[in-house]
Structure 1
Amino acid sequence: MAAKPPFLKRLFTWLWKAVNTIRLLIVNFIFFTLLAIIIVAISASGDDIVLENQTALVLDLSGHIVDQKRYVDPIEAAFMQGESNNPDGEILLADILYVIQNATHDTRINSIVLNLANLRSAGISKLSAIGDALNAFKAEGKQVIAMENGYSQEQYFLASYANTIFLNSKGMVSLEGLSRYRLFYKSALEKLKINTHVFRVGTFKSAVEPFIRDDMSEADKVASKELLGDIWQSYSSIVASNRNIKPEQLVLDTEQYLAELDRANGDSAIMAMNMNWVDELVSAEQFRLAMIEQVGSNKDGKDFRQISFQDYRSLTAPLPQFVETESVGIVVAKGNILNGSQPAGQIGGESTSEFLRKARLNDKIKAVVLRVDSPGGSAFASEQIRQEVLALKAAGKPVVVSMGSLAASGGYWISASADYIYATPTTLTGSIGIFGMFATFEDALAHLGVNSDGIATSDWAGLSPARSLNPQVKQVIQRHIERGYHEFISLVATERNMTLEQVDNIAQGRVWTGKRALTLGLVDELGDMEQAIAKAAELAGMNTFDTKVIEQELTPEQQFIQSLVGASVEYMPTNVRNSSLLENMLAQWSAVIEDFAKFDDPQGMYLYCEQCNY
């Protein structure tokens, strides 16, 4: 007769069976619930999008307008598809321009309604590109309308392109101008007994100033004032022209503002009307009725006839091409320049180089447009990418750079060797300089009673954040930084046909707008993606061509899961789709993690523009 198992063993066996049974019940419940939702979604997906004549296209620009979306898990991306007015989402600039250009020639669309309430960021360069597309839409005799409860400065820039700007009768237009203020940590670091070691070249390379000063240097003040002046001049001249007012009417000094506010009896909305910032003050109901009168009502008669941005994008999406034709390849370099392979939304020395390599090895791609929207980052990764640009040119494939909102420092490094460089008037570029920085904590540790001691076979073997930095080692690091700066200005001098002295005079870490960079010889022409693609085709001798975006693609399995979940997500309860705890954690930590992720160069040398965030 077999011995009876010990009591503890029987207890744990029973507990495991109980836990496993509960686990299976939960998993099966979730699985069959999702299966039911998917079946419902598939059965309901037969309803085609119907676009009637005299329809308004509602351009819902919620979140951040970008050249390339950051990577998200395919299932998470599918869940996000079901969310409208998501202020944390991202919209591709290319998608917006595609939709507006289609609507321009679509006889069923007679107007565009701008919904800007949740627009968080874009930059003047991207908004100007959208504005140009809206102007082409208006040139066809169609109407652009903006309506909001209130306009931020960036929202108002795009709204100014509208034929009619509506404002809620209790709303306001917030126009403040531009500023640049930072926190400085020198005294705090001294109190914490943290020693910061900074190595840099460039009078205007101010990224390290917060760690070595308690205030902004005079050189940085001069450069920043001129830069902000250039950007604001572009903003105010465009908006003033759109609204047929003077640029100085946009931002009033406090005395003028009080006088205008008094004239409006303290009512910000009436003041906006008086200043000709807006055309009409209405309630939401009055706007609804006005739009019904203009385009007609929808099927249930409760709202005006309209189609959403996403529905119209789906309706007009281009058919997939099964036969590859001669193309201009497009590689997007957006985000911080980091080492290794990086997901979409960041530039990787390995991953971005691989995209350029794919373009070089694809016989159907005859030229490449490199779209740069980056403040820079790792010097090593920047050079990796530039080497692939050189390889493309050596293979006989022209490379044209299209600078987006910013292409500074490392962003300029990867652009410099292109055959032709376009920038927008408000692109932030230049920042030709280099720095290195790290901290040691020997004094802080000693204050706590912790000391480091030992022996090493060389000065290099004992390097540690817990020990003071040898003065000779400091000199070696500074020499490397100086060598890096010399290589940077030499590169620019060679590629832009300038002398070292000429480059040094406009370098020193200084940031320029695209308009100023053109006069300085850092770029070839003012323009955007459309002009860059046409130039690339011209240099390659192509009269007819397609464009092909070269990027990280989802696997067939990921595409299937994303489309399946995306079809069913609108049937899920909101509390299932959203995790407030996760959102809060990401919001609190993502900025901190991103700051640390910027600095991963193997040699500790960075081509980075800290002030390129306007």
Structure 2
Amino acid sequence: MNTAVPGSPRRGPIAEFFVGLWNVMNFTRRLIVNIIFFSLLLLFVVLVLIIAGAGGAKPLLDDTALVIEPTGPLVEQFTADPAERAFKRALGDHDGDEIQLRDMLRVLDAAKDDKRIERVVLKLDRLDGSGMASLREVADALARVKASGKEVVAYSEMMDQKQYLLAAQANEIYLDPMGGMMLEGLGRYRQYYRQGLQDKLGVDVHLFKVGEYKSAAEPYVLDAASKEAKEADLFWMNDVWQRYLGDIAKARKLDAAKLAEGIDQLPAGIADVQGDLAKYAVQQKLVDGLKTAEEVGDLLAERGAADGDAEDGYRQVSFDDYLTRLNAGINPVDPRPQVAVVVAEGEISGGEQPPGKIGGVSTAQLLRAARDDDNVKAVVLRVDSPGGEVFASEQIRREIAELKKADKPVVVSMGDLAASGGYWISMNADKIYADESTITGSIGIFGLIPTFPRALDKIGVHSDGVGTTRFAGAFDITRELQPEVGQVIQTVIDKGYRDFTGRVATARKRSVEQIDEVARGRVWSGAQAKERGLVDDFGGLQAAITDVAQRAKLGMPGKYNVRYIEKSAPPFSQFFSTFAESRIGAHWLRESSFAQGLAQALLPRALSQTTQDLRFLQGAIEPTRGVPVKSLAYCFCGL
């Protein structure tokens, strides 16, 4: 059919082709958009109906075992979106899973007093990468469960020494006959890049720092750890390790010296049992017996209530299900005065940062929200951070000071790590709590500038030009760094160190000289930091909450509400997480091939250490307006 308008110029065949092609594409585009829109609308309606008719959870019966089978590390705050977590959990995808420490403690303390919970069963094989302070806090909670008269049973196929710190609290520990468990000690080894960067690639990394123990940037300028770094690391690591042995010995009624002796004689001991690590663990009294998972299930079914429908044959409730029950009992509108908890976990960077990182702007906003909320009477800052950018750390510290000016007491609770910038944001609190095995201190400043003229020369590229002064373009990394420019940078870093030690001295009511003696970039355990006046008392998060409530005169526990102030998830994310956590929603997601395919692309694999280190170097040299170098208060001091 000819659609040309009379009198209009006639299109050529090529133009007609492309016009027709465009009309087809435009029609197809609109069709696809409409299909997607109506499909999503239909899905939304279906989801609402499913949730409305999903029904409640099964009642919790007497003689139930609480099964704690964590996957991933213990964290202070989830790093993934609620919908993403629920989506992956519903599909049985545990890659990137995390367990909030606060949830673990709530579950254990509730189970201790719950008459329906007969015992706690620990399956710790997939617990990963947690710090000593967090593990000790969970171990204390397990000890409280055991002290209440409830049985704690641990089972593992293969267990490392961090997982074992929790298992050791159990009344009985069983290991698979083909499994393994041994203590080996604490080690901390890093990769060093000087030869690769400088000799191979021609990249010259210039380090400016204050403090002979400030070793965070050593891998970029040395081929091995400095004498000072090894001395300082071994000092705090030995303290943490001896405490670990003491905790194990106390829980298992063993001798700490004999545990240490068993490690020293490890080759001979393993040879005596012909390489059977499970048998060796029994011989060392680290475990009570060797059983398969099925045999442990039969044992617990005999002791408790058998349940043929349960996976292991005994009546049980999972950690997630029990936590859901606890959360369902929370009153969303609580008129009581509040203690606000703000979590500062991860590296400290400028601007807005997602959960799992600390933003100079975003974390300060959370603290400001607590200051502006009349219902909030006191604040606990929970810190688990190796530090990061100095200016971002200072933004957060200022908000702590403003809270105190507003007559709202602030107490810091240090987690596994509160070092360098992590200490900067902590120092102005009314009181600082830490675990004896918390890693803290590292009061020092450094800056990094790599220059690339030699690297560019290797490929025949050169930098040249003119400037109106001798310092115009002096900080261009494609040019050699002149000595007088280095002098400017070192002067800036010196000033940053004076700021750091001066603020600590004021906050801790000490002289600058006294702070300098324990600063200079040196890392301490929590126990060592308390001896040196950097920490006030030992205790976990609950101790900090109780303390700050008393300072605000809120009365006994129960007279006030504890509320976490966090960035809220978008409405759809909250809706989807509710759907995915329902039994019918989880079943639908598991059976959906589309959902399973999508889940495989949700999270990238963890970066290697080398990639992480080089990304840190890249971040360190990102330009900052008005300053020649980004001042960093960072500590590579985790375990």
TM (norm. structure 2) is: 0.90
Could you list the runs of 5+ residues in structure 1 that have no partner in the other structure?
Answer: none
| Secondary structure, counterpart of 2:296 in structure 1 | helix
1:39-118 equivalence runs, <5 A: 41-42=50-51, 45-72=54-81, 74-83=82-91, 86-118=94-126
Distance of 1:333 and 1:584 partners within structure 2: 23
Deviations 1:133-191 (A, max 9, x none): 11111111101111111111111111101110010011110322111211111121222
| 2:616 paired with 1:570 | no
What residue number does 1:587 align with?
606
Residues 43 and 5 (structure 1), Cα distance of their counterparts in 2 relative to 1, 3 Å cut: farther
SS of equivalent to 2:486: helix
The aligned counterpart of 2:437 is 426
Give the counterpart of 1:472 among 468, 484, 488.
484
What is the aligned partner in structure 1 of residue 367 from structure 2?
Answer: 356
Equivalence for 1:404: 415
Closer, same or farther in 2 for the Cα pair 1:84/1:229, shift >3 Å? farther
Per-residue deviation, 1:605: 3.8
Q: Secondary structure at the match of 1:94?
A: helix
The one-letter amino acid of 1:610's match is C
1:79, CA displacement in angstroms?
0.4
- Which digits, 9 at most, give the CA deviation of each residue in 1:445-503, with x for residues without a partner? 12322111111112343131111122211111100100111111111112212222221
CA distance in 2 between partners of 1:591 and 1:199 (Å): 21
Residue 66 of structure 1 deviates from its aligned partner by 0.6
Partner of 1:304: 314
In the alignment, what sits opposite 1:497? 509
- Provide the C-alpha distance between the structure 2 equivalents of 1:601 and 1:467, rounded to a whole number of angstroms: 15
Q: How does 1:246-261 map to 2 (within 5 A)?
A: 246-250=255-259, 256-261=265-270
Please state whether the residue corresponding to 2:179 is helix, strand or coil.
coil
Closer, same or farther: CA 164–87 of 1 in aligned 2, 3 Å: farther
Runs of 4+ that moved beyond 6 A: none
Letter in 2 for 1:54: D
- Of the candidates 343, 353, 356, which is equivalent to residue 345 of structure 1? 356
Deviations 1:532-551 (A, max 9, x none): 11111111122132112111
Q: Structure 1 residue 283: deviation in Å?
A: 1.4
Classify the secondary structure of the residue corresponding to 1:207. coil
Partners of 2:23 and 2:630 in 1: CA distance: 59
Amino acid at match of 1:546: N
Match of 2:192 among 184, 191, 200: 184
**Residue-by-residue CA offset, 1:40-69 (whole Å, 9 max, x unaligned):** 843762152221100000012111111111
Q: CA, structure 1 residues 601+113, in 2 after alignment: closer, same or farther (shift >3 Å)? A: farther
- 2:337 alignment partner in structure 1: 326
- Deviations, residues 188-246 of structure 1 (Å, cap 9, x unaligned): 12221111111100100011111111111111111111121011111111011111112
In the TM superposition, what is the alpha-carbon distance from 1:118 to its structure 2 partner? Answer: 1.0
The amino acid of 1:313's aligned partner reads: L
Q: Does 1:612 find its partner at 2:628?
A: no
Counterpart amino acid of residue 241 in structure 2: W
Letter in 2 for 1:76: E
Do 2:83 and 2:574's aligned partners in 1 also have CA atoms closer than 8 Å? no
Matched, 1:279 2:292: no
- Mean alpha-carbon deviation: is it higher for 223-232 or for 553-562? 553-562
Q: How do 1:192-591 residues align onto structure 2 when only pairs under 5 Å count? A: 192-250=201-259, 256-298=265-307, 300=309, 303-317=313-327, 318-462=329-473, 463-543=475-555, 544-567=559-582, 568-572=585-589, 573=591, 576-577=595-596, 579=598, 582=601, 585-588=604-607, 591=612
Letter in structure 1 aligned against 2:161 = Q
Instruction: Give the match's secondary structure for 1:210.
Output: helix
2:401 alignment partner, SS class: helix
- Is residue 249–residue 275 contact of structure 1 (8 Å, CA) maintained in 2? no
One-letter code aligned to 2:432: I
Rate the CA distance shift 1:531–1:267 in 2: closer, same or farther, 3 A. same
Per the alignment, do residues 508 and 255 of structure 1 end up closer, same or farther by CA in structure 2, a change over 3 Å counting?
closer
Q: Find the counterpart in structure 2 of residue 157 from structure 1.
A: 165
Amino acid at match of 1:587: A
Report the residue type matching 2:437 in the other structure: T
Aligned to 1:146: 154
Q: Give the percent of matched residue pairs that are identical in Structure 1 and Structure 2.
A: 38
CA distance in 1, matches of 2:633, 2:502: 18
Q: Any idea what SS the aligned residue of 1:461 has?
A: coil
Q: 1:270 deviation in Å?
A: 1.2
| Contact 2:451 2:478 survives alignment (8 Å) | yes
Q: Is the 8 A contact 1:38 1:565 kept in 2?
A: no
Counterpart-to-counterpart distance in 2, 1:397 and 1:337: 24
Q: 1:269 to 1:71 in 2, by over 3 A?
A: closer
For 1:312 and 1:522, locate their aligned partners in 2 and report how far apart those are by CA, in whole Å: 39
Give how far 1:78 is off: 2.9
Deviates more, 1:199-208 or 1:84-93: 84-93
The structural deviation recorded for 1:87 is: 4.8
2-side partners of 1:380 and 1:488: how far apart?
11
Task: State the distance in 1 between where 2:235 and 2:506 align.
Answer: 28
Query: What is the identity, as a one-letter code, of the residue corresponding to 1:314?
Result: T
Indicate if the aligned counterparts of 1:168 and 1:284 stay in contact, CA closer than 8 A. Answer: yes
Matched-pair contact (CA < 8 Å) for 2:496–2:631:
no
Per-residue CA deviations over 1:287-335 (Å, capped at 9, x if unaligned) read 1110101112125376110000111111122323324321111111111
Using a 3 Å threshold, how does the CA distance of structure 1 residues 587 and 37 change in structure 2: closer, same or farther? farther
- Partner Cα separation in structure 2 for residue 46 and residue 324 of structure 1: 30
State the shift of 1:21 in Å. Answer: 7.7
**C-alpha spacing 1:322/1:129, structure 2 compared with 1 (3 Å):** same
Three-state SS of the structure 2 residue aligned to 1:63 is coil
State the aligned residue count. Answer: 613
Output the amino acid matched with 1:82: A
* Bigger mean CA deviation after superposition, 218-227 or 256-265: 256-265
Residues of 1 paired with 2:209 and 2:37: CA distance? 60
Q: Is the 8 A contact 2:96 2:603 kept in 1?
A: no
Q: Distance in 2 between matches of 1:64 and 1:87?
A: 11
Give the TM-score of the pair, scaled to structure 1. 0.94
Look up the match of 1:12: 21
Distance 1:322 1:139, change over 3 A: same
CA separation in 1, counterparts of 2:269 and 2:18?
A: 83
Q: Which amino acid aligns with 2:588?
A: Y
1:397 CA drift (Å) = 1.1
Tell me the CA shift for residue 26 of structure 1. Answer: 7.3
Evaluate the alpha carbon distance shift between residue 469 and residue 591 of structure 1 in structure 2; reply closer, same or farther with a 3 A threshold. Answer: closer
